Structure 1
Amino acid sequence: MSGTTSEPRPDPDQLLELAADEERKRDRGRLKVFLGYAAGVGKTYAMLEAARRRRADGFDLVVALVETHGRAETEALLEGLEMVPRRETTYRGARLTELNLDAVLARNPGIALVDELAHTNAPESRHPKRWQDVEELLAAGIEVWTTLNVQHLESLAEVVARITGVAVGERVPDRLLDQADEIELVDVPPEELLQRLADGKVYVPEQAARATQLFFRSGNLLALRELTLRRAARRVDEQMRAYMMLRSIPGPWPAAERLLVSVAGSPYSAELIRATRRLADELRAEWFAVYVETAESDRLSEDNRQRIFRDLALAEQLGAQVATLEGPSVAEEVLRFARTHNVTKLVVGRPTRRRGLTRVQRSIFNDLVVQAAPIDLVVVSVGAAVPAADLPRAPSRGRPDWRQVVDALALVAAATALGLPLAGRLEPTNLVMVYLVAVLIAALRLGLVPALVAAGVSVIAFDVMFVPPRHSFTVHDTQYLITFLGLFLVGAVTSTLVSRLRAQTAAAQAREAQTGALLNLSRRLSTLSQPVDVARCLLEEAGEVSGLDGLVLALREPVDVLSGSAPAGGLAATDLAAARWCARHGQAAGRGTDTLPAASHLWLPVLAGREPGVVLGLAVPASGQVLAPDRRRLVEALATQTGLALERAELAEQAREAELLTAADRLHRAILSSVSHDLRTPLATIVGVLSTLREQGERLDGDARAGLLAEAFDEAERLDRVVGGLLDLSRLEAGRLELHREPIEPQELVGSALTQSPVRAESARIRLDVPDDLPAVEGDAALLTQAVVNVLHNALKFSPGGSVVEVTARAVGDALRLEVRDHGEGIPETELERVFEKFYRARRGDAAGGSGLGLALSRGIVDAHGGRVWAERAETGGTRLVLELPLGRSEEGRVR
């Protein structure tokens, strides 16, 4: 490796991503977030102060929504600022005011102030969350200023809950803060905030007392303040790195300390990792631990591999961000990572013993010393406590596969045999190409060592067999020495390049396999809704990735095995304790970790920080073998993705339950509003008739009494129809309506309907066209008659007085089609389906709707018989209601 280094080139993929982000931001409004660690630190006050300054500079600024919470000093800052009227709504009897999104969009200001980004909007708003309103404003090109407390960030919800003991329900996706163009940190000491709380400047006294006991404790506020400062610093650092990347500025910029240590599988690595952690604590710095896979990595022994895995796991447990890199050179990849992540100090180890580094490690060390600038190199003395037997030795190349070496020699022999017939026709220098082909084949098919053997033997064979004097090692023409050297160098370089390419291809295939595993799991989870199916899917994918058996537990009482099988005799108490700790803290536990390592399983969180928690357990062998970090991270990613799927399924189930409750509530209100009138009217008539008969019955003649009784009887029948319709409809929807099937002649069906009370009085207006030779249908005579009665009653009700209602019956294929046509105004096209909905009452002309149950009940009855009902507009006016019943017997005797 050269002692000098060229200017580092930025990652083109990251450049493209940053350029795409910049392109997206051009058409969007800017987002400014006033970030605080708790209510009362002064976010709204600071936002309004900045707004007044900006307004004084002539900017077009409006207050879309600001919550003053009755604070006089905050309300005073609103004076002189243009305010968009809020949207008023009512929810559960309470009047609420929300952001008037349409009004702000219509006003289209330069800057809009929207307070409390995490707020949940009132039901029936366009968006359930205020941050979604803000996104729509940004998409419209409006700059938005908003306020946010750190506890509302989605990624910190569980952390805040563990610190404060209070679960935060209103959450904002982290991407909003990540996409913010500007973050203004609003910070006051916790003592000052507690004094504000005591003075009643944050909450009213009763609320302040409760808040002090629950959330606003000094320790909580200190922890939240640190979270806020760290989160804001991280965002600023990301912006700085993006700035450096876009302008190809070589790092690092020492704005904040960052440490990097490289893991190489040596006995010193664990000591070096712990030293880096101590240094990071002293500097209060973020730190990274990386391992670089090169072409040499496939020759590492299993012990070395396991040591690397343990070292990376140790670094992760100590708080490092761990990464596995691939590349041809350890030094180059480490420095590339360091510059990309703005690392300021590179920590390397220097053994105290003389035989502490191998030749390769010394080469890497020297390359880092030469190329690291301007990154500081921190050299730590390590290895004093390492036994001499554990000192690193030069890595063994391993014994080559002699069969592959023999194959390489066979390729050289074949090249020689191919060249002999051509020796008299071609110059010897041209025959070199034959040997080059043999070396290339060896490099591609057999590996590095056989290819190098093929290159060396090819030089000898070419010299002996084709260079004058032949069959001798003597070379008369010294120019052939250059040919020999070229042949060997080409073979060696080609072999090395092919070996590296093979290693890079293997790494790319591994990455592709990881991506494919995530994609495959995502696709499978998208089609599943039951927790058991989701857990089985996770277990299959995790088993394929890790090669380990396992199980998925739901930690309820008793513990439920969602997928997989527990060991014979059940899970040990240690495993159950590790699983519960994992679910409670959201961190890995069990074998291979520092938490309950005596467990027989490695437990990874799927759903943590909630009840019941869900965890994945992998049965790690007791041999001490550690799951490779990249595979473990992939399994953790699979578990996280599955957790999201379980949450999504749970939310979908809750949404379905809420929808059912809403539908039931809506049905209840509809019954009260629609049916109560139809119940009260006949009851009132009956009560009136009975009162008249009781008070004046002796003075009324027989005809008058008979007329009153007939009226009461008709109303009683009407009441019976309404109640009967409700009962029949409820039985239909519950699937409990029995069908007593029997053959029914169409003439008998229509004739029976004409004798029923709703139709009987106006049966003279009905014109029938029902042929005598129509085949019978099989069904429940009483129910089908009721269906026809409801259709006829609807047609008579919406037909002008004296007009004719036409009833036609025909056999169409395997069905009987019964058409009922009126000559009224007709049903609008938009309502042809709605008339069959429960409690939907159309109003056409002067006709008032009934209970809205008749046609819904008719459709339910006909559907139960395997038929169908629909409405259509007649060509010459009016409406045609069509009932179609199958002529064959249905196999189902019960509505399902």
Structure 2
Amino acid sequence: MKKEEERRPDPEELLQRIHKEHQGKLTIFLGAAAGVGKTYTMLEAAHDRLAEGVRVAIGWVETHGRAETEKLVIGLPRIAPTVLEYRGKKLTEMGIDAILEQKPELVLVDELAHTNVKGSRHVRRFQDVEELLNAGIDVYTTLNIQHIESLNDVVAQITGIIVRETVPDSFVEQADNIQLIDIPPEDLIKRLKDGKVYISGQAQQALKSFFRPGNINALRELALRFTASRVDQDMAEYMRKNHIDGPWPAAGRVMVCVSASPFSAQLIRAAQRLAKGLRADFLAVYVDTPSRRFPMGEKERDRVWRNLNLAEELGGKIVTVAGNDIVEEMMNVARNENVTAVVIGKPRHSRLREFWHGSLVDKLLRKSEGINVYVIQSKAEAETHSAISTARNDVPAIAWLPITGGLVMTSVVTAISWVGREQLEQVNIALLYLLPILFTAVRWGRWPSYITALASVLAFDFLFTPPLLTFNVSDIRYLWSFTIFLVISFVVGGRTEMLKKEVRLTRQRETSVRTLYDFSSQIAAIIDVNQIAWTFVRHTGVALGRNTVLLLPEEQGSLKVEAQYEANMPEGRGGQAELPAAEHAVANWVWVNGQVAGRSTETLPGAEFLFVPLTVDRRTVGVFGIELGQQKMTQEERQLIYAWAGLAAIAVERGKLTEAARQAALLKESDQLRTALFNSVSHELRTPLAEISAAIATLLDSSTQYSAEIRQELLETVKSSATRMERVVANLLNTARLESGMLQLKIDWCDVEDIVGTAIRRMGETTHNHILRTRIAPDLPLLRADCVLLEHVVVNLLDNAIKYSPPGTELTIAAEQSGSEIFVSVEDNGCGISLQDLAKIFDKFYRASQQAVQVAGTGLGLSICKSIIEAHQGRIWAKNNPGGGAIFVFAVPVPANGSRSVIKESEWDDRKGTPNFGG
């Protein structure tokens, strides 16, 4: 059983495999150094594919003036590059838009680690390649081993040169094929000397520095090891995919602590290499400690963000926690995340600091329990500029108000002490000087208290310590007083500042949790997508104090601004104005590719907005934009935005699914309606059509002579059947008009007596088998109504009464005014209506299930009557007659012409079944 579980495929892996099937194939020609023949081999392979009939194109190839390489370029279609202007010069870069437009089957992209010119869509070329792969285009590309991110510090240790342009390991690992291009060191050196790699001057310099035989051999070994590990990984994946038993390593996790240290990047790479070797997951933890002795500046914050971004690029999971004890927080994360190994840097600070604060490595070893600890020797790297930067949360370094306040309090104490120096002893004066130090430390923190303590020491020494009015000290015991002043300011000020930082961090996190909770609570009950969009942009805009916008796809697939919030507007709402064309283009790119882009990223960083995709199950359902301009974002804001975006994506998806469910329900209801209509109509039309066909066939039969009575009877059968069909078709047309909302009342003056008379004439012969009586009150006022539709109501009610009344029984039509309404009733002496049918009798397609009488019909007549009467602002109802049969009544409002009592549904005479119209 356990073995079967191990063989069971990982769902995430299956999703990645399905996603990869829709991507282009990536082939990397990997070399140990420049000049080994990567581009040459790539061009040869491209010619072979071209001969096979594959549409090949050159996206970007650097020949470096090598004649044999330039010969291979001939014959391959080349896509024109993009021309960009930078600092007054026109530079060219790979034309990614032209490639996407032409969409060849295979494109050649040289120098994968290249950094693009400022103003390009992406900062680095591997991101261009990633977009081509997502578009389904196969890519051949070249790469040197020193440009792989995780090997950057190893290469620097070997060659002494730090490579600036790197490619994340996560991107290299997704390659479908890696071909190692290798030649002996002697051949490479000979190529250099012959000028086949660089021009003569550059070649001589390269031979003295980078291309030394020892360096080349070390780089070759790195390339061979990397390729071998890739082959081993492919073999393990093949064995797992085909259920071949093997010594699978136990699952685990490698954790590294990320900080603002310049050594942190090397530790991250070392942890990634260790995790890769152990086939374990990789975890990067950043502990935000408010107890730092010196506040973190903008430079350090940017370094922390670069390190976290590096860990993410290398495939690590990022975890951010806050606490005073770094080791304790790391161990908490390690226990929660099932960490099996921890990577930490070897201490580089002095033993005095270790004695004072303790060794981080020793603490970690003591508390690591069953976790392996790897201590790595590292050295600082040169600073690099990143397009991703974060804001500074701290106040300016120099706060003049607290310093001035401390000096003023010191001056006040000095004046008081000078005036009362005859009555006060030096001990009392020294204690008085402690007051401004303590107050400044508690009120303003460490540095103002330091300056206040220094000013107090100088004032006390100058004015009250012999010899007076000098800074000389004759008694060494006074030095203890000076030391106490400084220690008090150091301890109290430091603890106060630490507590303030803890309070600020607690408030920030409380605000983040509260805003997320508020937003999730607000959208929990909302299913309208537009309302969700407006709630989202307003909530994020108010919380961050920035302009926000949410774009959602239209039915045709293009993005439109669904909601927009402007922070400088009184109510925040800026309407649904369109974004500038450049910003909308960035949002479209995010929508298509499902990746973050815009300001503060490495993709289209020239935009004013940062655009974040709203993603659910790897599907992008919308794009959220927040205007940054020249402002910077804190890490807390960035994490909060991603959390909001996740909630908004779920809410938008829920709204769309709800709408889809509603449409599905309507479609189901429509299908049921269509089925019921088809069944009813087919049954209702079949009988009169059969009667008409039989009567006409009989009349056309020339072989038999029929009497005049028989012919008249047949013609009446045709007429009654046609009338019946006409009534069915009229009901269908009226139902269609009512359902579509196209029913328009043609209001005119109507006489109720004329309406009843016309309805009786339309019924014609169908009333001959019943006794029809009418009771129309005299002097009924005229109605403002649609005469034809009211006539149709009377016809339907009368037809219904005939169907459910035995032949020879009475049918009564009555009409009279009561108050501001005219009541018209149709009474029959049939079987009546059951209680269960009475509540549904006016529903569409509903037919009463009478035991005694079986009649045909579509079940539309009464529902049409109800709709027509309600369109006239009237009411209609049905009731059983205690003497037998049923009564259908409708009331239509008219202008009041006298004071008469208003008839209610319960005020009917049970004896005769006729309305008791008052009196």
Please tell me whether residue 260 in structure 1 is matched to residue 267 in structure 2: no
Aligned to 1:678: 684
8 A Cα contact 1:582 1:603, kept in partner: no
Which consecutive unaligned segments of at least 5 residues does structure 1 have? 1-31, 42-148, 167-217, 234-253, 389-395, 419-428, 463-481, 890-896
| Alpha carbons 1:455, 1:487 under 8 Å: kept | yes
Partner of 2:156: none
| CA contact 2:770–2:807 (8 Å) conserved in 1 | no
Which residue pairs with 2:658 in the alignment? 652
Does the C-alpha gap of structure 1 residues 617 and 362 become closer, same or farther in structure 2, counting only changes over 3 Å?
A: farther
* Residue in 2 that maps onto 1:641: 647
Question: Counterparts of 1:659-738 in structure 2 under 5 Å?
Answer: 659-695=665-701, 699-738=705-744
Structure 2 matches for 1:259-658, cutoff 5 A? 259-296=254-291, 299-350=295-346, 364=360, 367-368=363-364, 371-383=367-379, 385-386=381-382, 399=397, 401-405=399-403, 407=405, 446-447=444-445, 499-523=497-521, 525=523, 535=533, 537-543=535-541, 544-545=543-544, 547=546, 552=551, 554=553, 559-563=558-562, 568=580, 570=582, 575=586, 579=590, 582-583=593-594, 587-589=595-597, 592-593=600-601, 602-607=610-615, 614-618=622-626, 621=629, 627-658=633-664
Whole-Å Cα distance in 1 between the matches of residues 734 and 320 of structure 2?
68
Distance 1:750 1:303, change over 3 A: same
The alignment's TM-score, normalised by the length of structure 2, stands at: 0.57
Distance in 2 of aligned mates of 1:874 and 1:461:
112
Pairs within 5 Å for 1:733-882: 733-757=739-763, 760-761=767-768, 764-766=771-773, 768=775, 770-800=776-806, 802-805=808-811, 807=813, 809=815, 811=817, 814-849=820-855, 850-873=857-880, 878-882=885-889
User: What does residue 471 of structure 1 align with?
Assistant: none
Supply the AA of the counterpart residue of 2:310.
L
Alpha-carbon RMSD across the aligned residues, in angstroms, is 5.9
Distance 2:315 2:670 in 1: 52
Per-residue deviation, 1:792: 2.8
Q: CA deviation at 1:783?
A: 0.7
From the superposition, tell whether residues 325 and 353 of structure 1 become closer, same or farther in structure 2 (CA, over 3 Å).
closer
**Secondary structure class of the residue paired with 2:771:** helix
- Measured against aligned partners, the alpha-carbon deviations of 1:522-552 in whole angstroms (never above 9, x if no partner) come to 4555576676665555555555548465663
| Contact 1:601/1:618 (8 A) holds in 2 | yes
Q: Is the 8 A contact 2:591 2:613 kept in 1?
A: no
AA aligned opposite 1:515: V
2: CA distance, partners of 1:323 / 1:816 = 77
Please list the CA deviations of residues 448-474 of structure 1 after superposition, one character each: whole Å capped at 9, or x if unmatched. 656788999999999xxxxxxxxxxxx
Q: Is the 8 A contact 1:444 1:498 kept in 2?
A: yes
Residue 891 of structure 2 corresponds to residue 884 of structure 1:
yes
Distance in 2 of aligned mates of 1:367 and 1:459: 38
Summarize the Cα distance change of 1:836–1:567 in structure 2 as closer, same or farther, 3 Å threshold.
closer
Verify the 8 A CA contact 1:439 1:491 in the aligned structure 2.
yes
Q: Residue type matched to 1:509 in 2? A: R
Give the Cα separation in 1 of the matches to 2:600 and 2:380: 26
CA contact (8 A) 1:258 1:287 kept: yes
> What amino acid maps onto 2:268 in structure 1?
I
Report the Cα offset of residue 411 of structure 1: 8.3
Distance in 1 (alpha carbons) for counterparts of 2:517 and 2:837: 45
For residues 672 and 33 of structure 1, the distance between their equivalents in structure 2, rounded to whole angstroms, comes to 58
Deviates more, 1:646-655 or 1:495-504: 495-504
Deviations 1:725-780 (A, max 9, x none): 11121122222233211122344433443333177436634463x53354433111
Secondary structure in structure 1 of the residue aligned to 2:343: strand
Q: Secondary structure at the match of 1:270?
A: helix
Instruction: Give the Cα–Cα distance (whole angstroms) in 2 for the partners of residues 494 and 771 of structure 1.
Output: 101
- Paired with 1:387 and 1:611, the residues of 2 have a C-alpha distance of 37
**How far apart in 2 are the matches of 1:754 and 1:433?**
115
Larger radius of gyration, structure 1 or 2?
2
**1:277/1:598 CA distance change after superposition, 3 Å:** farther
For the residues of structure 2 that align with 1:358 and 1:715, how far apart are their CA atoms?
Answer: 108
Kept in 2, the 8 Å contact 1:351–1:357? The answer is no
Helix, strand or coil at the partner of 1:738: coil
* Cα 1:34–1:387 shift into 2, 3 Å: closer
Change (3 A) 1:730 1:589: same
Kindly state the Cα deviation for residue 613 of structure 1 after the two structures are TM-superposed.
6.4
Rounded to whole Å, the distance in 2 between the matches of 1:767 and 1:887 is 21
Note closer, same or farther for the CA distance 1:339–1:851 as it changes in structure 2 (3 Å cut): closer
2-structure distance, mates of 1:704, 1:751: 30
Shift in Å at residue 301 of structure 1? Answer: 1.2
* Distance in 1 (alpha carbons) for counterparts of 2:622 and 2:820: 55
- The percentage of aligned residue pairs carrying the same residue is 31
- CA drift of 1:35 comes to 6.8
CA contact (8 A) 2:772 2:810 kept: yes
Q: Which amino acid aligns with 1:678?
A: E
Structure 1 residues 506 and 733: CA distance shift in structure 2, 3 A: same
Shift of 1:341: 2.7
Distance change in 2, residues 1:605/1:642 (3 Å):
same
Change (3 A) 1:530 1:319: same
- Say if 1:765 and 1:802, in contact at 8 Å, map to a contact too: no
| CA shift in 2, pair 1:508/1:794, >3 Å | farther
Contact 2:598 2:610 in 1 (8 A): yes
Whole-angstrom distance in 2 between the partners of 1:805 and 1:33? 82
Question: For the residues of structure 1 that align with 2:880 and 2:451, how far apart are their CA atoms?
Answer: 90
Measured against aligned partners, the alpha-carbon deviations of 1:326-376 in whole angstroms (never above 9, x if no partner) come to 222333322332333333333222367979999999765564455445543
TM-score, with structure 1 as normaliser: 0.59
The reply to whether residue 162 of structure 1 matches residue 19 of structure 2 is yes
Q: Distance in 1 between matches of 2:351 and 2:605?
A: 34
Instruction: Answer whether contact 1:554 1:615 (CA < 8 A) is retained.
Output: no
d(CA) in 2 for partners of 1:829, 1:885: 26
Distance in 2, Cα, partners of 1:732 & 1:620: 53
